[in-house]
Chain A
Amino acid sequence: MRNASLWVGLTLIAVVVLTAAVALFWTPFDPTANGPVLLAPPGWPHVLGTDAFGTDVLSRLMSGAQICLLVGVLSVVGAAVIGVPVGMAAAIFRGWVGEILGRLSDILYGFPALLLAILFAAALGGSTWTAVMAIGIATIPAFVRIARAGTLEVLSQPYVEAAELSDVGRTVIAVRHVLPNIAPMVWVQASVSFGIAILSEAGLSYLGLGSGPDNPTWGRMLREAQDHIFSTPLLALWPGLAIAIATLGFNLLGDGLRDVLDPRLRERA
C-alpha cells in the first residue's frame, strides 16, 4: 500500500494514454461528423449517447484525450526546457543576475495561463497553439523555482566545493553534478504541472479560447453540454469525469514520485 498513489496514478494515466492511442486509429464513430439522432441517451450503438449535433459522445471523448495529452506534453516539456536551465543559472550566478532571474520568474508567477491565453487569443485568435504557448509560459516559473532551490542545495555539498577547487568550469559542474541531483524534483514538478496543464486546457477550451471546433476537446464538450443541462444532464458528466481522471492521474503520480524520491516527505504528503 506504501506506493498506492504511484500505482493508481500510473494506472489512470495509462487509461488516458491508451485511449488517445486507440483514437489515433479507431473510434466507434467519426468524432467530428454530425448524425441523425440528436441527444440520444446512452445505449446501442452510441454507448454514451449522442450530443446536440448527433455526434457520438464516446468517439469525441476518446479523440479529446489526444488534445489533452498533446497540450500537456508540449507545454510542460517546453516549460521545463526553458525553466530548468534558467533556475540553475539563477542559483549558480549569484549576485544581481540570479536576483533578476528570480524576480522575473516571480512576476511571471502572477500571470496565470488563462490570462496569457486571453492576451494571445485577443491578438491572434484562439487555437491549440496559443493554448500551448500560454500554458507553457505560465508553467516556466514553477520549474525556475524548483531548479533554483535544488541547485542552491546541491552547490552547498562538499563534492561541489571539491569540484570548484579543482578548477572545473561552472557549466561542467552544472551538467555533471547539479542536473542529475535535481532531476528527481524536476520529474515530480513535471507531473504536477501536467495535471495543472490539463485543467488549464480544459478551462481554455470551455471558454472557447483553445482548439477550434474541428478538434473535440473535453472543455468544449462541457460547454456544449451546458446548453442542454435541463434535458440531458448526463452529457455534462462524461467530459468532466475524463478531465478529473486525467488530472488525478498526474497529481497522484507526482505525489507517488515524491514519496519514492524523498522519503523525508512521506509523512507530510
Chain B
Amino acid sequence: MSRGKRVLIRLAWFVASLLLASLLIFAATNLLPGDIANVLLGTNASAEQVEALREQLGLNRPFPVRYVEWLSGVVVGDFGTSMVGGQPVSSIIFSRLEISAWLVGLATIGSLVIALPVGTYAAMRRRHVDGVAVSAASQVGLAVPSFWAGIWLVVLFAVTLRWLPAGGYVSYWDSFTDWVRHLILPVAALSIVQASVISRYVRSAVIDVLHTDYFRTARAIGWTRSGAIWRHGMRNISISLLTVIGLQITTLLVGAIIIEQVFAIPGLGSRLLLAVTQRDLAIVQGIVLVLVWAVLLINFLVDVAYQFVDPRLRQEAT
C-alpha cells in the first residue's frame, strides 16, 4: 500500500471518528434521563412554563433532527446559543480557547524539556544509585495529582516566598511580564507531573537504543556514549516520543481543566465547569466537542507524522 493511500484511509477514519464523537456527546447530554427545562426553571415552575421552555429550546422535536441541526451548525462554526445567558456559544469558546491552548502548549514543551534529559540520565545510569533514584522519583511523580502539585507550588512560591501570583490571568497585550508570571506556576504544575510519565518512556526508549547494533558500532568507532545517543539514537527516540505525546495530550487537556480551577484561570475548562453548575447544556456540548475533536485531531496528525518520520514506513512506501 502506498503512503498516500495509507494517509487517505487514516483521513477517512479520522472524519468518521469526528462524527461518532459528536454523536456520543450529543446523545450523552440529550438522551440521558433528566429534563433540562425542569432543571433550568427550578421546582416552582408551572407545567405550562416548562412546556414553553421545552418548545423554545426545541426539545420537543425528535433527537435525530436536533442532532443533524446542531452538527450542521457546528460545521460552519455555529455552536448554538447559551441556554442561560443567550450569547452565541462559539464566541464564548473562541474567547477562551487561546488561554487553554497556551496552557497546554507550554506544558507540553515544559514536560519535554524536563523529561528528555531526566529520562536519558535515568537510562544511562540505570545500574547506579542516582539513576535508580531518578526512576523512583518519576514513579512517585506519576502518583501525584497535578492539582495537588499546583496547590503546593502556590504555598511555596506565592504564599511563602511571594515571588509569583497565586492565581488569575493577564493578557500578554496588557503586560507581557505579568502574563509570564501568571503562567509559570500552572504550567509548572502540569509539566512536572506530565514529565514523570514521559521520562519513563524516554528512559525505556534510550535503553532500547543502548542495546542496538548501530549503537555498539558507533561506540566502537570512537563516539562517546552520550555522543552516540545524540547522533544516532535521537531519531529513534523521537519516533516513540511522538506516540507518547499523542496519547498524553488527553491527560494534559484534562489536567488543564483542573489546573485552571486551581489557579482561577479563565480558560475553556473553568467556563465548562461553570456551565455544568448552571446546567447550560449548549455550552457543555460545545466545549466538550471542541476538546474531544482537538484530541482526535492531534492523534491524527501524530499518526500521519509517523508515516513521514519513520524510515521503515517510508521504505515500505517505495
**CB within 8 Å of B: which residues of A?**
103-104, 106-107, 109-116, 118-126, 195, 199, 202-203, 206-209, 222, 225-226, 229-230, 233, 236, 240, 243-245, 247-248, 251-252, 255, 267-269
In the complex, which of the residues A116, A118, A120, A203 contacts B147, with contact meaning CB atoms closer than 8 Å?
A: A203
Contact in complex: B151, A111 (CB < 8 Å): no
Contact in complex: A110, B254 (CB < 8 Å): no
Chain A residues with Cβ under 8 A from B261's Cβ?
Answer: 206-207
For B297, the closest partner residue in chain A by CB is A110
Interfacial residues of chain B within 1-25, with CB under 8 A of chain A in the complex: 13, 16-17, 20-21, 24-25
Chain A residues with Cβ under 8 A from B32's Cβ?
Answer: 120, 123-124
**Binary interface profile of B, 26-51, with partner A (CB < 8 Å = 1, else 0)?**
00111011101000000000000000
A-B residue pairs, 9 tightest by C-beta: A240-B148, A247-B143, A248-B143, A123-B32, A119-B28, A122-B284, A110-B295, A114-B254, A107-B17
Chain B residues with Cβ under 8 A from A113's Cβ?
Answer: 254
Say how far A12's CB is from chain B's closest CB, in angstroms: 9
Chain B: interface residue total (CB-CB under 8 A)? 54
In the complex, which of the residues B21, B30, B250, B275 contacts A107, with contact meaning CB atoms closer than 8 Å?
A: B21
For B147, the closest partner residue in chain A by CB is A206
For B123, the closest partner residue in chain A by CB is A268
**Binary interface profile of B, 244-276, with partner A (CB < 8 Å = 1, else 0)?**
000000110110011001100000000011011
Contact in complex: A111, B21 (CB < 8 Å): yes
Bound complex: CA A247 to CA B142 (Å): 8
Other 14 A-B pairs with CB < 8 A, given A123-B28, A123-B32, A236-B155: A103-B17, A104-B20, A119-B28, A120-B28, A122-B281, A122-B284, A199-B145, A206-B147, A209-B276, A226-B151, A243-B148, A244-B143, A245-B143, A269-B204
Contact in complex: B151, A110 (CB < 8 Å): no
What does DSSP make chain A's interface, helix, strand, loop or mixed? helix
The answer to whether A226 and B295 touch (CB under 8 A), given A119-B29, A120-B32, A244-B144, is no
Bound complex: CA A111 to CA B299 (Å): 12
Bound complex: CA A112 to CA B247 (Å): 11
Say how far B117's CB is from chain A's closest CB, in angstroms: 19
Contact in complex: B147, A222 (CB < 8 Å): yes
Interfacial residues of chain B within 271-292, with CB under 8 A of chain A in the complex: 272-273, 275-277, 279-281, 284, 288, 291-292
Bound complex: CA A89 to CA B87 (Å): 47
What are 16 inter-chain pairs, A to B, with CB distance below 8 A? A103-B17, A107-B20, A107-B24, A111-B292, A112-B250, A114-B257, A115-B288, A115-B291, A119-B288, A207-B273, A222-B147, A236-B152, A240-B151, A248-B143, A268-B204, A268-B208
**Binary interface profile of B, 152-165, with partner A (CB < 8 Å = 1, else 0)?**
10110001000000
Contact in complex: B145, A116 (CB < 8 Å): no
